[in-house]
Structure 1
Amino acid sequence: MFNFKNIALSAALGLGLLLPAMLKAQTDEDAIMMTKKNLCVGGTYMQNSWDHYWEGTFKRSNQNIGTVSTKSVMLMGTYGITDKLNLVVGAPYVWTHATAGTLHGQHGVQDLSAWLKWEALDLNVGNGVLSFYLLGGGSLPLTNYIADYLPLSIGLHSKTLSGRLLVDYQVKNFFVTASGTYTGRSDITIDRNSYYTTSLHLTDRVDMPNMASWNVRAGYRSNWLIAEAVFTDMITIDGFDIRKNDMPFPSNKMNSKMGGVDFKYTFRKLDALSVVGGAMYTFSGRNVGQATAWDLGVFYVLDLAHKKAKAHNTAGKKL
């Protein structure tokens, strides 16, 4: 499946007020692996919007900004180094817009993200297959965009390193996948020499809090169709709340709980081609927008080994 859910738009694991949406690339949160020397490439269009947000734990709207929307096009690729080890990369171009007030939207190339995904172990358990994956990833900004302009910045401009443990259990065509991720974020520099959080800081450097998340998905997985329900909980470790009637700040605590659905359909007569999509809703949060998001993408598998190009899952079926 194609799910880069928050590796910042690419990899920062969530931009809170800016991007609590879905970010998709292949196989960083699911149990699908590319076959050795196969390359899956494509793109996804994503859009989210919100007109209410949580200022700390207080839910409110703000007529000075109206409805804030974020659109992005993410280009992605997944390469099978081996059948058990995949490389996943992606980079988005992002647009932001507010329907009211004087703040201008931003646009530009955001962060380059990369994951290494290793299928470490699979076991026959009961009537199904239990599989364990280890993932390591990171991101870095590709342009000098402005981070201190939330909620209309295109990103947080922090370098990140992430580690993830993923467990998948599949019985026939039905599966459950769970994962937990920890992300460390580097300090950033902003275009002012002092700022206030819970105290005055006479510096242009901002200490960015690290983040953690967990994800559960369950549904149907076959050679031609994957359909799943998804729940994601993102937690900022440390950070502070938006002050009353103030703008958000990059080092705010940004927590969110999101639920939704995803699908992937592979064409039977052209099985290297697939369409992916989904929708998500932020139903609980802290210092984030209550966003409704959707995405749609197209991907194609190139057989660099001159064999039939396929992806495979933990049950050994070709997808």
Structure 2
Amino acid sequence: MKKLYIICLIMAVQHFYAQTEIDGIMMDKKYFCTGAIYEYSSWDKYWEGNFRRENLNLGTVSTQKIAINGNYGITNNLNVIFSIPYIATNASAGTLQGKKGIQDLSLTLKYMFFEKKLNHNSLSFYALGGLSTPVNNYVADYLPLSIGLQSKTASLRLMSDYQFGNLFATVSSAYIKRSNIKIDRNTYYTDQMHYTNEVDMPDAISFNARAGYRTKRLIAEAIFDTWTTQEGGFDITTNNMPFPSNTMNMTKIGFNGKYNLKSISGLSIITGFNHVISGRNVGQSNAFYGGLFYIMNFKTKVKPSQESKI
């Protein structure tokens, strides 16, 4: 059973998909980890299809996010995780105005169905099921400055984690099913004309790998992450705005760090960054984030007379 001060690793919120659960750590039964994280990301170059370019009518597009996250241990092997972000966007040039508001609520059940320990080594496997839904009637058809895509999602992720002493590696992959959305116009063009306000949203596959150093006090990890749109997407046309059902592929690399304070038991500081190294119809962004998280114990307190017998 993981100790109290091994806290849930937090998320790096993506513009269209929030990931909060893909670490090899479980919250103990009746413990609740919660906190907030701030992220700033920006880009001045993007891929129009596979052509990398800049747009002087946009300048630098930036996004600020504040997310509230939580992880509750239903049992030692089953956690429920939530996240809800507030997002504000901005373009440094041109006439497009940024948007701001609460985006999507995401809920995830994380189940560790296998764990094998041998001396200081351990191997574990997990299954994760997630749902997300918009909680605000924001405009999706306003890329790249919309705060989300208005699509409800369901995801299934499989994950494995191996720890060798203080070193570890975690690998996971997920399939994300996305619902269709409705936009505020009755016709639109993709690779053909559509006389409707309903947009077919392509599904996606996510892959994540992370490796590094992990102890009860400190975690430092390098991260490799991909998002691949499935059949049904299309490329941004030349000098046109992006569209919600575009193919949006990206590969990111980054770093996460977390330190559990000695002076305040249960409190941790996190920080990290990521950089998009390749993509299709997405911005080549750099993101930096940091936050605070705290664990609360909801177990029944043990009486002093009982404590002395432990």
Common fold: TM-score over 0.5:
yes
Tell me the residue number matched to 2:295: 301
The DSSP-based 3-state class of the residue aligned with 1:251 is coil
Tell me the residue number matched to 2:305: none
| CA positional deviation for 1:191 | 0.1
**Residue 247 of structure 2, aligned match among 225, 249, 253:** 253
Instruction: Map 1:202-281 onto structure 2 (within 5 A).
Output: 202-238=195-231, 239-281=233-275
CA contact (8 A) 2:10 2:69 kept: no
Asked if 1:91 corresponds to 2:59, the answer is no
Tell me the residue number matched to 1:161: 154
Provide the C-alpha distance between the structure 1 equivalents of 2:300 and 2:217, rounded to a whole number of angstroms: 22
Aligned amino acid, residue 186 of structure 2: N
Provide the C-alpha distance between the structure 1 equivalents of 2:226 and 2:118, rounded to a whole number of angstroms: 28
| CA positional deviation for 1:201 | 0.1
Structure with higher RCO (Cα < 8 A, 6+ apart) = 1
Asked if 1:103 corresponds to 2:110, the answer is no
Unpaired stretches in structure 2, ≥5 consecutive residues: 1-7, 303-310
Deviations along 1:297-319, one digit per CA (max 9) or x if unpaired, are 101101011469xxxxxxxxxxx
Instruction: Map 1:159-198 onto structure 2 (within 5 A).
Output: 159-198=152-191
The DSSP-based 3-state class of the residue aligned with 1:33 is coil
Deviations along 1:221-246, one digit per CA (max 9) or x if unpaired, are 00100000000011000200000000
Unpaired stretches in structure 1, ≥5 consecutive residues: 14-22, 309-319
The DSSP-based 3-state class of the residue aligned with 1:45 is strand
| CA positional deviation for 1:2 | 2.5
- Root-mean-square deviation over aligned CA pairs: 1.5
Tell me the residue number matched to 2:285: 291
**Residue 46 of structure 2, aligned match among 44, 53, 58:** 53
CA contact (8 A) 1:254 1:285 kept: yes
Provide the C-alpha distance between the structure 1 equivalents of 2:203 and 2:152, rounded to a whole number of angstroms: 11
Provide the C-alpha distance between the structure 2 equivalents of 1:63 and 1:162, rounded to a whole number of angstroms: 37
TM-score (norm 2): 0.92
| CA positional deviation for 1:270 | 1.8
Runs of 4+ that moved beyond 3 A: 3-6, 124-127
Provide the C-alpha distance between the structure 1 equivalents of 2:9 and 2:38, rounded to a whole number of angstroms: 12
Provide the C-alpha distance between the structure 2 equivalents of 1:189 and 1:119, rounded to a whole number of angstroms: 37
The DSSP-based 3-state class of the residue aligned with 1:101 is coil
Greater radius of gyration (CA): 2
